[in-house]
């Protein structure tokens, strides 16, 4: 019997799929032809699979993905909670913008959650940041996990953040069963909590939630200036008035972005990070060309 559903868990070559027809979870494996095609199913995929009584099922086909993350491998994400800390580690606009650029580029709605505000004497600067980023279009939560829970229903949500920002604490408050389940698997496998073999979506508040490993660095997977331009929504909107279609907003005449920065319509910090990311893209391209010539 062929069924259709979403992959909820991947562990040691097995995939748990929740069928849309009956709401039951079936354990399956992927057929060898996926390996031959150079692809493999990942958590979040919508898949067709065989489901026989009292036997292991097999994934037959996966549907095209709306989007996907590499770390951890997970697909068809609606929104991502970027957890940042006010201190320990110190808050970084540069790191925040790297996360936002990655998610915006992939068509995933970013939600920013700021933790450890109780360790800060004056939170006014963070309230200003919240106001600035919400004006761009990024929802911002100041240490209020109960309010954050209200956005979970009917959404697939992933959590991401730098190591040490309090992501685990936040997840334990929202969904303690996630920590218990992953620790149980880690104990059985004799591995750390996060492994390449275990990715799982948990059903929380009528939605699905996944955790991600802590990031020490972030590659935003953008290789061209037009894609980078589009990943800064306020710069992209303003760039429609630039004289040149692929204006880099650095040296071209009649650029509409630079005057907007001077007027305060676009944040100076956002423009500075755009320039930094642009230089990184151009540097990678130059390095690649040098390697190719050898």
**pLDDT tens across 123-154, in order?**
999 999 999 999 999 999 999 999 999 999 99
Per residue in 31-50, pLDDT tens?
Answer: 878 877 888 999 999 999 99
Q: Which CATH class is domain 69-211?
A: alpha beta
Q: What is the mean pLDDT of residues 64-77?
A: 91
| Mean pLDDT across the chain | 88
Domain boundaries, the chain: 2-64, 69-211, 225-293
Per residue in 155-193, pLDDT tens?
Answer: 999 999 888 898 888 998 998 877 655 555 455 555 444
Tell me which CATH homologous superfamily contains domain 2-64: Nucleic acid-binding proteins (2.40.50.140)
Per residue in 242-286, pLDDT tens?
Answer: 999 999 999 999 999 999 999 999 999 999 999 999 999 988 655
CA distance 198 to 288: 34
Sheet with 207-211, strands from edge to edge, namely 140-142, 109-115, 79-85, 156-161, 207-211, 202-204
CA distance 268 to 212: 30
Of 3.20.20.70, 3.30.565.10, 3.60.20.10, 1.10.40.50, which CATH number belongs to 225-293? 1.10.40.50
By DSSP bridging, strand 68-69 and strand 140-142 are unpaired
User: In CATH terms, are 2-64 and 225-293 the same topology?
Assistant: no
């Amino acid at each position: 019997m062929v069924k259709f559903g979403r992959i909820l868990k991947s562990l040691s070559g097995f995939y748990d799929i929740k069928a849309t027809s009956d709401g039951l979870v079936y354990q399956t494996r992927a057929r060898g032809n996926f390996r031959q095609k150079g692809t493999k199913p990942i958590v979040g995929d919508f898949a067709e699979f065989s489901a026989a009584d009292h036997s292991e099922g097999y994934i037959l086909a996966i549907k095209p993905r709306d989007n996907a993350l590499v770390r951890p491998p997970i697909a068809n994400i609606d929104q991502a909670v970027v957890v940042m800390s006010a201190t320990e580690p110190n808050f970084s606009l540069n790191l925040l913008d790297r996360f936002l650029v990655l998610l915006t580029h992939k068509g995933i709605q970013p939600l920013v959650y700021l933790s450890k505000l109780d360790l800060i004497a004056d939170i006014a600067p963070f309230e200003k940041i919240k106001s600035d980023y919400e004006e761009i279009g990024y929802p911002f939560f100041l240490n209020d996990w109960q309010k954050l829970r209200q956005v979970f229903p009917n959404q697939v949500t992933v959590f991401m953040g730098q190591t040490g920002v309090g992501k685990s604490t936040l997840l334990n408050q929202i969904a303690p069963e996630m920590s218990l389940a992953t620790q149980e698997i880690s104990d059985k496998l004799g591995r750390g909590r996060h492994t390449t073999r275990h990715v799982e979506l948990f059903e929380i508040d009528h939605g699905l939630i996944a955790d991600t490993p802590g990031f020490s660095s972030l590659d935003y997977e953008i290789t061209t200036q037009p894609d980078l331009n589009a990943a800064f929504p306020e710069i992209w909107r303003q760039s429609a008035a630039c004289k040149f279609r692929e204006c880099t907003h650095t040296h071209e005449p009649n650029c509409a972005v630079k005057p907007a920065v001077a007027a305060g319509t676009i944040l100076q910090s956002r423009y500075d990070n755009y320039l930094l990311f642009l230089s990184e893209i151009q540097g990678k391209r130059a390095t690649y060309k040098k390697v190719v010539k050898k």
